[in-house]
Amino acid sequence: MILMGVHIPSNMEVSVYDRAMVSPDTLPAALVPVRALLSSDDRRRILIGVVGPPAAGKSTLAVAMASALARESIAAVALGMDGFHLANEELERLGLANRKGAPATFDAEGFIHLLRRLRELGPATIYAPVFNRTLNESIGSAVPVRPAIRVVVVEGNYLLLETPPWNEVRSLFDLVLYLDAPARVRRPALLRRQRNRGLDSAAALAWVDESDEANARLIVQTRDRADLVLCRGA
């Protein structure tokens, strides 16, 4: 999807209910430190991280930020860490299918390698994967990051984890924003997400309680490592 000159991966398109995930105050506050970074250096590529618990609105904010920058003629792209989910078949082999979304269910080394390539700003186009919620699988080489891209906004759950190898991620970003949202806001979106992938009400509730909220408890422990905390209360 191309929106206002910025490439938006199809898995990050904004649904009707997701549009509420970026309050009028959140986007401007997120852009203030980004503009400060842009004004201090007009040559290098800038990597921005957006972290927070599941369904806090990370992908929506990442897309909104990239789109806002594009309106200012700043080439930007939004990427998601979810593209590095291990394949379902591999999760089954590892016995981790019921914990999909936990740190161990990602190709962390592959994600780190992509971030390092993005920082280099070489002459070649770099391709990033996406996660397709309809297929419940990752799709490789789906998003082109061309040399002209000035700002890369990357959203994900574990950008601030201190356990190896995730502890290598934080230093690869110029700025990391933590987007917080209360459970009363996140849980309805999480339940819809699980119902949309075919789970019945009971199974969806069990997944949210046993997987998504377990991940959220881990992520909230990393909150104080962010450069700026944004709170979405509605």
User: Average pLDDT of 152-159?
Assistant: 98
Instruction: Identify the pLDDT of residue 121.
Output: 83
The angle that helices 26-40 and 58-71 make with each other, rounded to 10 degrees, is: 50
Average pLDDT, the chain: 88
Inform me whether the pLDDT recorded for 129 exceeds 60.
yes
Q: Which domains does the chain have, with CATH numbers?
A: 2-231 (3.40.50.300)
Other CB atoms within 10 A of residue 137 CB: 13
| 214-228 pLDDT per residue, tens | 999 999 999 999 999
Strand extents, DSSP E, the chain: 2-3, 6-7, 46-51, 76-80, 126-132, 137-145, 151-156, 175-180, 228-231
Q: What does the pLDDT read at residue 234? A: 56
The pair of structure tokens assigned to 121 is 């700003």
pLDDT at 159 over 90: yes
pLDDT in tens, 12-28: 433 322 333 444 468 99
Averaged pLDDT for residues 191-206 = 90
pLDDT band at residue 128 using 50, 70 and 90 as cut-offs: very high
Dihedral sign computed on CA atoms, order 162, 153, 99, 234: positive
Model confidence over 25-76: pLDDT tens digits? 689 999 999 999 999 867 789 999 999 999 999 999 999 999 999 999 999 9
**Rounded to 5 degrees, what are φ and ψ at 9?**
-55, 145
| Residues of the chain above pLDDT 70, percent | 88
* pLDDT tens sequence across 97-114: 999 999 999 999 999 999
Whole-angstrom Cα distance, residue 165 to residue 180?
Answer: 24
What pLDDT is recorded for position 161?
98
The mean per-residue pLDDT over the stretch 142-168 comes to 97
What is the structure's pLDDT at 25?
Answer: 61
Supply 180's token pair.
Answer: 């917080």
CA distance 222 to 234: 23
pLDDT above 80: residue 181? yes
- As a whole number, mean pLDDT of residues 192-216 equals 90
State the pLDDT at residue 67: 95
